[in-house]
Chain A
């Protein structure tokens, strides 16, 4: 077959055509490959672990980082969303209604007043440093800040809206449309709204005098505060209020040494804690150990906001959680120490907070 064809001019023509065909086939193949090939992931990456920022376990309480690396545009967008009342059904509430950044990340109410003037079941936990909580909510039902957003948004007594409703509202706002499009390929969507809000929340860190102390600046704490910190450790408060957030990395039962509800305290269904979530009897009265950062700003205390003062709370903790008697002077020292845990959002993070209409 070869010899006569090689000589024939037809073959040369065929060869050039063959090249063209070959290229065409290759091109088609490439086209198909791109068409059916592995699709680029359109969804957002898995939410980063809330504890991911620090993993140090060399100290019982490591210091908070002084700054945090986040996309500032996402933080700004999240801040707007956090303060935007369009997220609630009747456009009356925003996230900030119960989690005021300026006042310790909560609202100072025993239990927040929700839609229809209803008192909610639980005391609003602070949003500050919430990124360092291993779970969200008192009963820890959310594993990430992103997921957390879903709950108050859909809760009829809280924001009481739905994602389609919120998305539709935000899409009408040209400002949001441009911002979202600049930051997320998929634009305005439930997951991008969640991510933006969570990113903003991650920025809410409050390094305090205590952190300066932990960094070696021994004069950052007063003598009483230092004494308080020593007692905080020696009494064993630190056994649960430990880690970078002085809490927020474990669950604990309220009344672990003595039954809290056996005596004076009246029991409500919400006091069952994680039992309501898991159905496991071992989880009765079990709550997430809350952070002690900014604790003086976030009165009243406990999951139901039933304890008004910090002193009282410390006394309750000593009795029911530690099972130890605690003299009033020690309580005062510990309370003094707890005051040193109030911090400020770093200027770089806080500067735009006031621009947002509330």
Chain B
């Protein structure tokens, strides 16, 4: 239970990891395992085993060859030692190679190593025996060959002397030597020894030359006795079966272990293959998951894109809606204002018409009445006192002089009222639905009239000079009230700009507005220029954006120019643009096509 509790955080960790992370860990582990198995497998090098085994076989062959060579030299089949020497040397070098290879191969097998090390002294013993055999055998063979010769010589010398029994002894000796040579038996050496003793007894009795020969015979016989058993023993040592047996024993033990190792290597190979297969599977799995993740990510991305697009569209729709709402409100406001203005204009129009239309008859009547009075005064130069008093009281002389002026001024006032009313009607034109042929010059004039109060000199500044270059322009098919509204907006802004400029310019600065109307080939251009503050580049870019304003809060709606743009561009298919230099002034240009396309 405790253990489980301890493991709990681990479980969380496990769950917390994603599948692909675990797969990656799995792949790394798998790879590590493969490397481990591979290195284990690599440690077993079959090539090494085979080379080593081949070398052991080679050594064994050489061992047998050397033995056969020893016998061959012994029995005169080989006349010299070159072959034996060569094979012995080969055997030595084969053993050196084995030792070199064995050092690594046998490192993990102490038992085998012990067996292996047991070989060396045996081989060494053999090699030593062979070397000594070569030396001793050479001498032995010489003595064996020389003894019959020297005996024969002794016989010949003996002819001169008459030592009885000497011949027999020499023959005996030679016979025994031949027998002994055939079989180096200890027992067979005894008769030779006896003959030596016998011959030595003769030595003082014989002649000088024979003595020398006898000494030679004795020398070689003794050498034979000494060398024969030694050579026999050396051959036995050279042919020692223990060396071959030990090598063979080692070989079979090694073979067994080698077979085991190779089997193990084979198994490891299969394990490695399986692990590789597993690794591939894991990699495939990982990539499947990765691919799914990629697809998912792509879908997600697409979805996000769509949402973003939709949001953008919605945003635009919203701003459009906001704009149109504001425009609607504005239009409604304007329309309300227009109705009000139109109503007032209409209401005022009638009374003013009374005044205006009665002004002339009133003037005529007054002239007539003044004429009558003058007639009376001429007829009655001395009027009664009351009249004179009254005339004096009312200051007739002044009336007579002032009355026509009063009437004239009333007429002028009425005239101006008429003009204003006309302008108001022109401006609102609400009574005029739809497009109609309109004179833009007239629109400009009436707009200027409406703005008269702003153009006039104010308490803090002089009047704004307005110059007009109104050309001969054709009537334009348009919504006159809307075009007027645009002109009004531009002019109002121009006045604002001039007022702004007045605050910073020198006293001799003359604010001015210049208006042109120009007939072009297929359009009518209205250009309104001022020498005001100008519009900075940043502002110019947003000039026609709805709700963009440079004016203090509450003063501007930020709709003026956007509405103007909408009116000119969208409703009339015209162009509106501005050209401005900061500090120099601004020029707005409105182009209205003569042939307006049908509004959709």
Task: List chain B residues, Cβ under 8 A from A59.
Answer: 79-80
CA distance A6 to B49 in the complex (A): 47
Contact A11 B82 (CB under 8 A): no
Contact A323 B47 (CB under 8 A): no
Kindly state whether residue B78 has any CB partner on chain A within 8 Å.
yes
Q: Which residues of B contact A (CB under 8 A)?
A: 35, 38-39, 42, 45, 47-48, 69, 72-73, 78-87, 89-90, 92-93, 96-97, 131-132, 134-135, 138-139, 141-143, 145-146, 150, 212, 216, 219-220, 223, 276, 279-280, 283-284, 287-288, 291-292, 295
CA distance A13 to B276 in the complex (A): 21
Contact B142 A18 (CB under 8 A): no
CA distance A250 to B135 in the complex (A): 7
Given contacts A38-B47, A236-B142, contact A57 B81 (CB under 8 A): yes
Kindly state whether residue A242 has any CB partner on chain B within 8 Å.
yes
Top 3 nearest A-B pairs (CB, nearest first) are A236-B142, A57-B78, A57-B83
Contact A18 B284 (CB under 8 A): yes
Q: Which residues of A contact B (CB under 8 A)?
A: 5, 10-11, 13-14, 17-18, 21-22, 25, 32, 36-38, 46, 49-52, 54-62, 134, 143, 236, 239-240, 242-244, 249-253, 256-258, 282, 286, 322-325
Contact sample, A vs B, 13 pairs, CB 8 Å cutoff: A18-B287, A21-B287, A49-B86, A49-B90, A58-B78, A61-B80, A239-B138, A239-B139, A242-B82, A250-B131, A252-B138, A253-B135, A323-B143
Contact A251 B82 (CB under 8 A): no
Contact B142 A239 (CB under 8 A): yes
CA distance A55 to B90 in the complex (A): 12
Contact B80 A14 (CB under 8 A): no
Partner of A282, one of B69, B132, B138, B295: B132
CA distance A276 to B131 in the complex (A): 17
Contact A14 B223 (CB under 8 A): no
A45 shortest CB reach to chain B, Å: 10
CA distance A38 to B87 in the complex (A): 30
Given contacts A11-B288, A13-B291, A32-B38, contact A243 B81 (CB under 8 A): yes
Partner of A54, one of B82, B96, B142: B82
CA distance A57 to B73 in the complex (A): 9
Given contacts A46-B97, A325-B212, contact A18 B83 (CB under 8 A): no
Contact A240 B280 (CB under 8 A): no
Contact A250 B138 (CB under 8 A): yes
A4 shortest CB reach to chain B, Å: 11
Partner of B86, one of A51, A143, A251: A51
A99 shortest CB reach to chain B, Å: 23
Task: List chain A residues, Cβ under 8 A from B131.
Answer: 250-251
Q: Which residue of B lies closest to A252 (CB)?
A: B135
Given contacts A18-B287, A36-B42, A236-B145, contact A56 B93 (CB under 8 A): no
Contact A56 B83 (CB under 8 A): yes
Given contacts A18-B280, A55-B82, contact A286 B216 (CB under 8 A): no
B226 shortest CB reach to chain A, Å: 11
A347 shortest CB reach to chain B, Å: 27
Task: List chain B residues, Cβ under 8 A from A256.
Answer: 135, 139
B210 shortest CB reach to chain A, Å: 13
A275 shortest CB reach to chain B, Å: 14
Task: List chain A residues, Cβ under 8 A from B283.
Answer: 18, 21
Partner of B220, one of A13, A25, A50, A323: A323
Task: List chain A residues, Cβ under 8 A from B93.
Answer: 46, 49
Given A49-B93, A51-B86, A61-B80, 9 more contacts at CB 8 Å?
A: A14-B284, A14-B291, A38-B47, A134-B89, A143-B89, A251-B131, A252-B135, A252-B139, A323-B223
